[in-house]
Structure 1
Amino acid sequence: MTAMDPARPQTVLGMLSGTSHDAVDVAAAHLRFTDPHTLALRPLGLHSEPFPAALRERIAAALPPARVELAEVCRLDTELGQFFGAVAARADTALTGRRAELLASHGQTVHHWVDGGRARGTLQLGAAAWIARATGLPVLSDLRTADIARGGQGAPLVSLLDALWLLGEGTRRGALNLGGIANITVPGPGTAPRDVLAYDLGPANALIDAAVTAASGGAERMDTDGARAARGRPGTALLRRLLAEPYYRLPPPKSTGKELFHPGYLDTVLRPGDPTGDDLVATLTELTAHLVGTACRTHRLTELVVSGGGVRNPVLLDRVRAAAAPARVVTSAAHGLPAPAKEAYLFALLGYLSAHGLPGTLPSATGAGAPTVLGSWTPGAGPLRLPPPHPGAPRRLIIEQP
């Protein structure tokens, strides 16, 4: 990477595997400053590849509350890095014709250490050196630790994208991601455009997937098209018990993950006579919708922009719409970014910002003591040469259509 004119579009790849650990997504984007405080992002497309079944099973076996030998952690870090590198190289060919200039890799989260409501550490696997070797690109990785080191939650990282793109001054618009965990970004109590709140609401697909996997004996991993929730009936008593989870009463900023909402979590809540099978899936779907609806009322939202894998579940999305009313619910495609690709574009944005010496976090959202430049760089085929730091932080992001 060489010094460059910030007005010239730079081609960036953003890559992640989410908490559902079912696939790797790579988005390509052109990013540039149109003026000192306005960023423009032109989406170039999304490339997704499912994990090989054996690798996915090993990721699942390594997640909390499992106890894993360090030898297996080392093997997973290497093999995930090799797989990520192969996927990224194919994405670069398919989306940019091998013209990408840098890549930001979130990696695969295997543990997010939260103690007493404070994030103490985080671990994402997928060794960056293997990705750099496969692509020849400089790779930004370990994107959460710097924020945690400044006292933040290291999450949700999407808050900066939401603040620059969707939460303009005077709006009561919020942004919701329905991944394994549901997180939300909303206007903060102040008046500055970058004064936002962002936090993990609780489970979205994580517990739904666990219930489907158990009900199908492992033959299904998710509620495809919401078919099971559509057939089931939510259990009122179980829903009340689920909503008693202490995490929901913690004030933001806060973060969570499969350290809490893992498949065994349901075993601690369920009692004889509780809903099972499709009725349990319907109850868990209603749980996520209830959490979203409560947040919409608490933050007085008039519009909610939804993205993430949960958008592909029409029953979940319908229940979110009903619970969020009277707030209008739209997907992120209505504002220019396809819902399944938003998080991958986020990491492209964070890679670009870090390359230019710019923070990728908002203290009001993560709880950190100061804005933080994120990640660690691994050189690609040549020496690592970053552009000069950009003067001033962006205040606005616009989406340019191809």
Structure 2
Amino acid sequence: MKAIGLMSGTSADGVDAALVEIKGKGLGCKVNLLSFKKFPFPEGLQKLIHKASTPEYGRVDLICHLNFLIGELFAGAAIGVIKKTGYKMEDIDVIGSHGQTIYHIPESRKISGDITGIPSTLQIGEPSIIAERTGVMTVADFRARDMAAGGLGAPLTPFAHYLLFKGGDTGKAVNNIGGISNLTFIPAGGGLDNLVAFDTGPGNMLIDSIVNIITKGKMSYDNDGKIALKGKICERLLEKLMAHPFIKKNPPKSTGREEFGYNEALNIFRITKIYRLSDEDIVATVTGFTAKSIAESYHRFILNKHHLSEIIICGGGAENPAIIKMIKNYMKPIKVNTSDRYGFPPEAIEAIAFAILGYATVIGIPSNLPQVTGAGKKVVIGKIIKGKGQ
């Protein structure tokens, strides 16, 4: 089976598209990456998505427009990723699309007066457009079914992490550092039911936001960690950041822009005035928060029960030398490598994961993990939009 995975993370800067070949059946299958490409969003779209994701500024008409516009861009990415591969759309069996998260509410909260909202989530990027433009069966809206079954709707990638990295005689962890960081621990010889996985806290999101604030919008991220590497971590501020309630919370747990987005970065920036830090020190400290919160998750929730020999880093954070350097320092003597070592580019893993999740849906395999999301049972996740002639 050949599958395409489409992903746009919390940075909302474009679509990651992966074409994979899946050989074999079920949990014994092997996944080969055939093509991976990044498709940047048009200028200005990132700001619109972030605006739509903010309760103070999001509008229903904007979200309505973006749903279809992003669907077109995702469809274009699916078509674009197979160019020059020798394959045609007729060769593709399924497209798995994560879509673009607008808002994620994993726990109940009051909406207004006596009305309490139930856990909910919203990803946009209309899958009907993807199926119509490509002619390929498209699976999307993966998180909703897990939440309907009582789960947090995240993280969902551990199922794919297991298929990609299972095996070996030692325990290993896959740590995706996107906007949010999440880990998947795979015990030696363990199966899906033995995985431990959860969101650890901020990934690149806070770093990107703080850089944007400091540079007054001239920069949107710390390229190659250069700013952080020039600075020094303020341990007093880092200790304050590490007191965030989410860091101490026991798994299963999930978080997002609602806790570690631009507003949190603004709060942190205001606090830095007390410490009279340079811009470089601020970025170094926020980068340290990402690294130390990741390390704290291993020390609190993994190493107290399991043997861990290696951490495999993937996602955009794998391209930030400052984050990697800090994680290695906090996790000594455990080996820290990137997924390149296993033949998968770090930035391709999440797109590959949604190709795998789409595959699991069409063959009827449950791919949520109740011990990870807190769902009451295993369920087949995702909604299917049939393609041409299906």
Aligned partner letter, 2:92: A
Q: For structure 1, which segment, 128-137 or 109-118, has the greater mean C-alpha deviation from structure 2 after superposition?
A: 109-118
3-state secondary structure, aligned to 1:371: coil
Residue 312 (structure 2) pairs with residue 305 (structure 1): yes
Aligned partner letter, 1:22: D
Within-5 A mapping of 1:23-102: 23-33=14-24, 37-95=27-85, 97-98=87-88, 99-102=91-94
Quote the Cα distance in structure 2 between the aligned partners of 1:194 and 1:169: 17
Residue 103 (structure 2) pairs with residue 111 (structure 1): yes
Quote the Cα distance in structure 2 between the aligned partners of 1:333 and 1:59: 30
1:272-310 per-position Cα deviation (integer Å, ceiling 9, x unaligned) = 323352211100111111112222333122210110001
Taking structure 1 as reference, are residues 188 and 368 closer, same or farther at Cα in structure 2, changes over 3 Å only? farther
Aligned partner letter, 2:3: V
Quote the Cα distance in structure 1 between the aligned partners of 2:71 and 2:191: 40
Residue 258 (structure 2) pairs with residue 259 (structure 1): yes
The equivalent of 2:332 in structure 1 is 325
The equivalent of 1:287 in structure 2 is 289
Residue 357 (structure 2) pairs with residue 350 (structure 1): yes
Aligned partner letter, 1:312: E
Report the Cα offset of residue 37 of structure 1: 4.7
1:53-109 per-position Cα deviation (integer Å, ceiling 9, x unaligned) = 121120121123433221111011011111111221122334452222220110000
Quote the Cα distance in structure 2 between the aligned partners of 1:360 and 1:87: 25
Taking structure 1 as reference, are residues 194 and 165 closer, same or farther at Cα in structure 2, changes over 3 Å only? farther
The number of residue pairs the alignment matches comes to 373
Quote the Cα distance in structure 2 between the aligned partners of 1:134 and 1:191: 41
Q: Any gaps of 5 or more consecutive residues in structure 1? A: 1-9, 384-402
Taking structure 1 as reference, are residues 232 and 37 closer, same or farther at Cα in structure 2, changes over 3 Å only? closer
Quote the Cα distance in structure 2 between the aligned partners of 1:318 and 1:111: 32
Residue 148 (structure 2) pairs with residue 157 (structure 1): no
Aligned partner letter, 1:120: P
3-state secondary structure, aligned to 1:106: strand
Matched-pair contact (CA < 8 Å) for 2:310–2:336: yes
Matched-pair contact (CA < 8 Å) for 2:169–2:188: no
Report the Cα offset of residue 191 of structure 1: 5.9
Residue 15 (structure 2) pairs with residue 16 (structure 1): no
Aligned partner letter, 1:356: I
3-state secondary structure, aligned to 2:82: helix
Report the Cα offset of residue 188 of structure 1: 7.0
1:143-176 per-position Cα deviation (integer Å, ceiling 9, x unaligned) = 1111111111111111112233435485321110
Aligned partner letter, 2:33: P
Taking structure 1 as reference, are residues 13 and 96 closer, same or farther at Cα in structure 2, changes over 3 Å only? farther
The CA RMSD over aligned residues, in Å, is 2.1
1:105-159 per-position Cα deviation (integer Å, ceiling 9, x unaligned) = 1000010113269981111110011111221111101011111111111111111
The equivalent of 1:186 in structure 2 is 185
Quote the Cα distance in structure 2 between the aligned partners of 1:38 and 1:189: 16
Quote the Cα distance in structure 2 between the aligned partners of 1:382 and 1:100: 14
Matched-pair contact (CA < 8 Å) for 1:17–1:108: yes
Matched-pair contact (CA < 8 Å) for 2:35–2:81: no
The equivalent of 1:394 in structure 2 is none
Matched-pair contact (CA < 8 Å) for 1:128–1:378: yes
The equivalent of 1:277 in structure 2 is 279
Aligned partner letter, 2:329: A
Quote the Cα distance in structure 1 between the aligned partners of 2:293 and 2:309: 16
Aligned partner letter, 1:304: I
TM (norm. structure 2) is: 0.90
3-state secondary structure, aligned to 1:28: strand
Quote the Cα distance in structure 2 between the aligned partners of 1:237 and 1:267: 18
3-state secondary structure, aligned to 1:260: helix
Correspondent of 1:339 among 313, 333, 346: 346
Within-5 A mapping of 1:364-383: 364-383=371-390
Aligned partner letter, 2:15: V
Matched-pair contact (CA < 8 Å) for 2:204–2:317: yes
3-state secondary structure, aligned to 1:89: helix
Quote the Cα distance in structure 2 between the aligned partners of 1:307 and 1:119: 32
